[in-house]
Amino acid sequence: MPSVTNLTCEHRINPIGLDIPVPRFSWQIQSGMSVLQGAYRLQVFCEDSAEPLWDTGRVNRPASVLVPYEGPALRPRTRYRWRVRVWDKRGRDSEFSEEAFFETGLMGIDHRAHWISTPHKGDISRMQPAPRLRKSFTLKNKPIRRARVYATALGIYALRLNGRPVSPDVLCPGWTTYKKRLQYQTWDVTSLLCPGENVVAATLADGWYRGYLALKDQRNVFGERLALLAGVVVTYEDGSEQIIRTDATWKCLSDTPVRYADFYMGTHYDARMETPGWDAPGFNDSAWESAQIVRHVKAPLVSQLDQPVRRQYSLTPVEIITTPKGETVLDMGQNMVGWLRFTVRGPAGTTVTVRHAEVLDRDGNFYMENYRLAESKLVYTLRGGEETYEPELTFYGFRYVRLENWPCEVNPKDFAGVVISSDLETTAGFECSDERVNQLFHNIQWGQRGNFVDVPTDCPQRDERLGWTGDCQAFARTACINMDCALMLSEWLKDLALDQREDGAVPFVVPHVLKEQNYGSAAWGDAATIVPWTIYACYGDKRVLEAQYPSMRRWVDYIGSQSEGYLWNQGFHFGDWLGLDAHEGSYVGATDKTLIATAFYAYSTRLTRRAAEVLGYEKDALELRSLYRKIVKAYRQEFITSTGRLAVDTQTAYALTLHFDLAEEKDRPRMVRDLVNLIEKNGGHLTTGFVGTPYLCLALTECGAHDAAGRLFLRADYPSWLYPVMRGATTMWEHWDGIKPDGSFWSSDMNSYNHYAYGAIGEWMMRALAGIDMAKPGYRELLLHPRPIEGLSFVSAWQNTPYGRVRCGWRIEDGEETVACTVPGGSTAVLVLENAALPQVTESERLLSGEIPGIVRAWQSESDTMIELESGRYSFKWRV
């Protein structure tokens, strides 16, 4: 019998604060072999009502992902319960699932709260103490049904109620294009309230809003004054409400123990200035000033829909190092993002400093020149005795920490590396016979974890940490395989569209914090089309295409305005950034920029046309189909000779031409041979940069040169994916030779050791090596096509899809190949067994000529065996 599990609303489990008039529901089917949903019944209840607000009745459809609500209008600040039951294709029905819930947010209602701040703006040219605000209030003497906090800030804020954090979230309200879209948070604080006096309190800090941001000592990008906007809404059992709003009755303190808190510079905390109990009842705040109402704040409020930033792991130092220079350094064993929590003992007034670094130099000394202007330090002044501290108003990227002026014995038990990231579920795993490759996959996921801190950034440590569009589009498919990124990337795309110029040009970074001219590069601006299509493909979320389609179309139209004869030959382009075939002294690879730009023009046009088809925009689809053909024709005339030779003889040029399907079918075999020859001429190594690398192995495998892709992938000398692993990397590097073979470094002006872009190879590892892929967007129809390579004896992988967990892997042993796979309930799959003769293939020792549960049919396609599968677990074996 089928059963229903993993109920989510808008990609979240039991979300609160939804400002969505038509939320969508998803569920998965847990069962045995050959289970496909044939029908469902979904019920939604309002608050504690026993009668459904909306009951679909039996709906004879297989839909189980993002099923839209179609009931009466939802009310603000209201909890709704829901449940679902299903029937499989044989008519067997499940019980109703356990109830899940969602809760609406403010949905535009005004609680008449005011923006408040300290009376004194201070010297905005330098870092200032983090102000504190508090409000004491008394509850009515009657039973409470629930209590919610709705809050946001200009700057970042940490909110507390009666001395305790209101949630585990940090760095709220996150980073958006604040003047166009400012997120507020909703938290359930019912359990934090107490009879009588209660206190709500907040600490504000610069964050992305006012601190150092972007490049060249830039501050106050979004504004000059920190402020808080909040409301505590207490709902009693009798239905009455009590609302505590931010207003001039709040108290504030400007001169606080947090002397400054900045993302680039770090933080200084003076524990001697602590005022115990400031955030709890019973504290005397008569010496505090009254808060000042801040007028004319123009920041449209939206509920935060994606996952917040939270603490994820706690790492203990693996080694205490005394460097040749005599420095005391802790090795956390992992390049991580977050901060150090420590316990220290010493006399009052002692000031200790913690500095952060990613690597040690070749002599084993502490090295942080690659942080550039970012001081990245933690300064702490002791109040005296034993005390424990961790910052939460900044973050650092580091593996090593240097302790300066430490007043007591250095004990590893006194330190913990607190890892933070957007709270994204890990949705993929990979294991194979080569531990170097396993470490590479680890590095890819940790690179993503460290750079997905509310927005997808290039790096998390130096004076940059920006949402570079080129990095994101290159890594988007790998990101969505590794983690549940549907919401985070969808929210980031909203800011991309808001920051897009009227003429359609897309900024280099989102949110846009660079100068006005930093718009429009090929492969960077194409994030406007590639990322939304990737989200749709991976999650089946059509609403993302609906929201982003105007942005997609405007980007394609912008490219057209920059083109002549359908060749994109105008404007600034980064080119194949950091390509190894660059000319001496240049960061730009040798591939012709017009070729790159026109290839992406074609690709973006193709994706936008596909989006138009999905959305039913027939006129647009026809226009874009015609435009695409003209671009491809122009590309072939300009860059492909009559004999099928590519005029630009670089690895990146071949990778783009083949993967974007820009060559005629008759010319592809020669191009593949030429690409393989280029790699071999380079000693079996790649020369690609940010543009070509994501597609290099994909292009080879797609064109029948999987063996060449495997050889390239397993290279361990410079330059290669495994070279950083051999040098001890625990995340992905910005440069192939961030640490050179002789132990020296790339130039410190641009040398990050946590830069996820080259981790895009993870897509090939999962899709080609392990063989987990989609036949159609959304993974309801799977394509399982594992492809062994010489040098590995087994690969095993899993990936969570909207329908459940897929497993696929292969093993070659004693002359036999085994392929094991799992298809989740609600999905079907076509499995490709390469170089397998159908009569020789068995499933759990049964020949495929017989009837086997779950196998719909099997057939021979040239040298491969093809098998159509329904849900279940399978193990196939044959002689190789």
Distance from C-alpha of 48 to C-alpha of 457, rounded to nearest angstrom: 43
In this predicted model, what pLDDT tens digit does every residue of 162-179 receive, in sequence order?
A: 999 999 999 999 999 999
Q: Reduced to 3 states, what is the DSSP secondary structure of residue 255?
A: coil
CA dist list (Å): 269 to 40, 378, 413, 651: 56, 8, 22, 51
Same fold, 116-304 and 312-422: yes
pLDDT score of 513:
95
Tens digit of each residue's pLDDT (9 = 90 or more) over 217-271: 789 999 999 999 999 999 999 999 999 999 999 999 999 999 999 999 999 999 9
- CATH number corresponding to 773-879: 2.60.420.10
- Cα atoms found within 13 Å of the Cα of residue 834, Cβ hemisphere only: 18
Q: What homologous superfamily is domain 116-304 in, according to CATH?
A: Galactose-binding domain-like (2.60.120.260)
What whole-number distance in Å separates Cα of residue 570 and Cα of residue 564? Answer: 8
Task: Note the pLDDT tens digit of each residue in 270-280.
Answer: 999 999 999 99
Give the whole-angstrom CA distance, residue 285 versus residue 827. Answer: 61
User: Which of 783, 858, 776, 873 lies closest to 823, judged by CA?
Assistant: 873
Per residue, the 3-state secondary structure of 549-577, as one string, reads: HHHHHHHHHHHHHCEECCEECCCCCCCCE
pLDDT of 629 higher than 80: yes
Q: What is the pLDDT of residue 320?
A: 98
560 phi, psi to nearest 5 deg: -60, -35
Residue 534's closest CA among 778, 332, 301?
778
> What fold, for 428-769?
Glycosyltransferase (1.50.10)
Res. 202 pLDDT band, cuts 50 70 90: very high
pLDDT tens column, 819-861: 999 999 999 999 999 999 999 999 999 999 889 999 999 999 9
In this predicted structure, what is the pLDDT of residue 565?
Answer: 98
**CB neighbours of residue 107 within 10 Å:** 17
Residues with catalytic function: 464, 734
- How does pLDDT run across 287-310, given as a tens digit for each residue? 999 999 999 998 899 999 999 999
DSSP labels, 583-649: PTT-SB-SS-HHHHHHHHHHHHHHHHHHHHHHHT-HHHHHHHHHHHHHHHHHHHHHHB-TTS-BSS-
Smallest CA-to-CA distance from 840 within 821, 823, 817, 857 is with 817
Instruction: Say how far apart CA 552 and CA 556 lie, in whole Å.
Output: 6
> pLDDT (tens digit, 9 = 90+) per residue, 732-743?
999 999 999 999
End-to-end CA distance of the chain: 39
Q: Domain extents for the chain? A: 3-104, 116-304, 312-422, 428-769, 773-879
For 642-656, what is each residue's pLDDT tens digit? 999 999 999 999 999
The highest-level CATH class for domain 3-104 is mainly beta
Is beta strand 351-357 parallel, antiparallel or unpaired with respect to 455-456? Answer: unpaired
Residue 465 has pLDDT above 80, yes or no: yes
H-type helices in 741-788, by residue range?
A: 761-764
What does the pLDDT look like over 80-126, one tens digit per residue?
A: 999 999 999 999 999 999 999 999 999 988 878 999 999 987 788 89
Mean pLDDT across 445-453: 98
**DSSP structural state of residue 171:** S
Q: How far apart are CA 570 and CA 581, in angstroms?
A: 23
Please tell me what DSSP assigns to residue 354: E
Local confidence band at 528 (pLDDT 50, 70, 90 cut-offs): very high
Alpha carbon distances (Å) from 567 to 14, 575, 599, 657? 49, 15, 9, 14
8 Å CB contact between 454 and 176: no
Q: Is 426 helix (H, G, I), strand (E, B) or coil?
A: strand
**397 touches 450 (CB < 8 A):** yes
Residue 746 has pLDDT above 90, yes or no: no
Q: How far is CA 450 from CA 305, 428, 852, in A?
A: 21, 17, 46
C-alpha distances in angstroms, 329 versus 265, 316, 321, 359, 739? 20, 13, 5, 11, 20
Amino acid at position 822, single letter: T
Q: Which CATH architecture has domain 312-422?
A: Sandwich (2.60)
H or E element that contains 877: strand 872-879
Check residue 849 and give its pLDDT: 87
pLDDT band at 657, cuts 50/70/90? very high
Q: Tell me what the pLDDT averaged over the chain comes to.
A: 97
pLDDT, residue 515, reads: 80
